[in-house]
Amino acid sequence: MKVDYLKNKKGLTIKGPLVFTPDIYSDSRGLFFESWNRKKYEENLPDTAQFVQDNHSESSQGVLRGMHYQIEPYPQGKLVRCIKGSIFDVAVDIRKSSSTFSEWVGIELNQKNKKQLWIPCGFAHGFLTLSESAEVLYKASGYWNKDCERTIQWNDKAFNIQWPIENLNISEPLLSDKDANASSLEELLKNDDLFL
C-alpha cells in the first residue's frame, strides 16, 4: 500500500488528508486487494481515527454532496472510497490556526484505481459524481450528530474549488436542499463554527 499527501493547485502540500493506494493483485480470475487493514492504516492515521460507523451513498451524474463536517464535541474523520463509478472528491482545510486555512485538495476516486482519501477532523468534505452513477463507501471516526453537523457552500469564493462541472455538460450540479442553502465561510467564521 502506498500513502501520499496531496498538493493543491498552487503546489502546496496540505497536511492532514492522505491518499491510500492499495496493492492490487490481478490475474485471469479477476483481482484482489485489501480495502482495510487496521494495523497498516493505524500506522498512518491519528490515534483519534477509531472508526465507529460505515456510510454508503449512491448518486447520479452531476450530483454534488458537500461541503460537510461536524464541529466539536462530535467531529468526524472520514476514509472515503468509490466502489462503483467515479467521483471528484474534495477536502477543504477549515482549521483557523492552520497555515493552509481555506485551501483545498481534490482527487478522482473510482472503481478502477481503488484509491481511498482520508479526510481528518478539521476539514470539510464533498464530492461530485462524474460517472452515470457512483456508489461511495466511507468509514467515519465519529457518530453522526445533527446538532454538530455543518455545511459550507460548495462554490464559496473563499475556496475557489475547481469542480470539473464543465466536463459533464451541466451549468450547475444537482444539490440537496440542505447543501443548496449552506452557509458561507464568512458566516461560519462569525458564528465560530470552525476548528481552531
Query: Residue 138 catalytic?
Result: yes
Active-site residue (options: 68, 69, 74, 125): 68
Query: Residue 68 catalytic?
Result: yes
- Cβ neighbourhood burial of 92 (10 Å; 0-12, 13-18, 19+): buried
Is the distance from CB of 30 to CB of 126 less than 8 angstroms? no
Give how far the C-alpha of residue 91 lies from the chain's centroid of Cα atoms, to the nearest Å.
Answer: 5
Is the distance from CB of 125 to CB of 77 less than 8 angstroms? no
Handedness of CA 46, 48, 50, 52 (dihedral sign): negative
State the Cα–Cα distance between residues 94 and 117, nearest whole angstrom: 17
Is the distance from CB of 87 to CB of 128 less than 8 angstroms? yes
Residues annotated catalytic, as ranges: 68, 138
